[in-house]
Amino acid sequence: MVSNQDNRFGRLQPETDKPDLDFVVRDLQRSLTRVAANLRWYEQTWLGVPVWQLPDDLVALQRIVFDEKPKWIVETGTKFGGSALFFASLLIMMGRAPETGGGVITVDIHETAEARELLSNESVHRHRFAPMVRKRLIGDAKASEIVADIEAAIAGDPGPVMVFLDDWHDGEHVYAELLRYSKMVTGGGILIVADTTFEDLADTPLVAESAKYRNARESNPRAALRRFLTETRDFVPVPDYTRTGISNFPDSVLRKAS
C-alpha cells in the first residue's frame, strides 16, 4: 500500500483505488463482434443445415435449453430452417420426441425454399428432426392471428416456454414482438432478443443504411429492449450465458419472474 503523501502528489494510487478495467474487455469483445459479423463468421451449419448464429452463441443457446428444459421453444425468424432444427435436435438429444408433446414453433414473414424442403411434411428431403418442429408459420410474427395460433398450440399442451426473437431487427418491430411474445414465456422462463449488437454494427458495411434499415443506430433490437425493460419488472437480464466469448446477443438473455 502506498503512503498518503505519494497519493497526494498523484504519483501512485492505493490498490483499493485501482480503476475497473472491465471496459477493456467489453471494448475488445465489441471489436471482435464487429469483425465476426462483417466477415460473416455467423454463417455456420448444424448437421448439414445452414444456421446463421455465431459459434459461441450456439453453445450459449445449447446451455440455456439444457438448463431450462423448455417444453416449447418459440422462435421468430425461420430463414433456412437451421435454427428450428438446431433447437429440435437439442430437445431430441435431451430425450424428447414428438409424441411426448411440445417442440419448436417457428414463424417468418417469408418462406425460403430451403426451409420448405427441410421442414415441410410433403417434402421428400424433409429433415429427420423436422417432426419436432411442430408448427411452421408464414406471416408477420407480430400479427394477431399468428400470435393467437402460437398461443393456442401452447394452451393445448401447456408447459415451460422459451422464446427466441430473431427476425426483422427494426426497433419498433422488435418492441412489438416483445410486448406479445413476452406473455408466452412461463414464469422463470427465458426470453432472448437476438442481434442487439446491431447497434454496434450500425456504421459497418453489414448494417449500412438501406431501405430496410434506415437508422440502425437508433432503431435496433437493443433500443427496443431498453424501452421494454423500462416498462416492465417481469424480466431481468441473465448475463452468465454470454459473459465470455463473442456474442450477437450479449445483453439480452432475460429471465421472467416466477
The domain that contains 60 carries what CATH number?
Answer: 3.40.50.150
Tell me if 33 is assigned to some domain. no
End-to-end alpha carbon distance in the chain = 46
Kindly report the pTM of this predicted structure.
0.89
Domain hosting residue 57, numbered range = 42-256
Tell me if 17 is assigned to some domain. no
Cα separation of 229 and 31, whole Å?
Answer: 26
- pLDDT tens digit string along 22-75? 778 788 888 999 999 999 999 999 999 999 999 999 999 999 999 999 999 999
- Chain-wide mean pLDDT for the chain? 92
Which set of grid coordinates corresponds to residue 212? 430496410
Tell me if 108 is assigned to some domain. yes
How many Cβ atoms from other residues are within 10 Å of residue 109's Cβ?
Answer: 17
Tell me if 3 is assigned to some domain. no
Tell me if 20 is assigned to some domain. no
What's the rounded mean pLDDT across residues 6-29?
65
Tell me if 13 is assigned to some domain. no
Higher pLDDT, 73 or 7: 73
Q: What is the structure's pLDDT at 28?
A: 86
Tell me if 28 is assigned to some domain. no
Tell me if 146 is assigned to some domain. yes
Among 84, 174, 178, 171, CA closest to 131: 84
Number of domains in the chain: 1
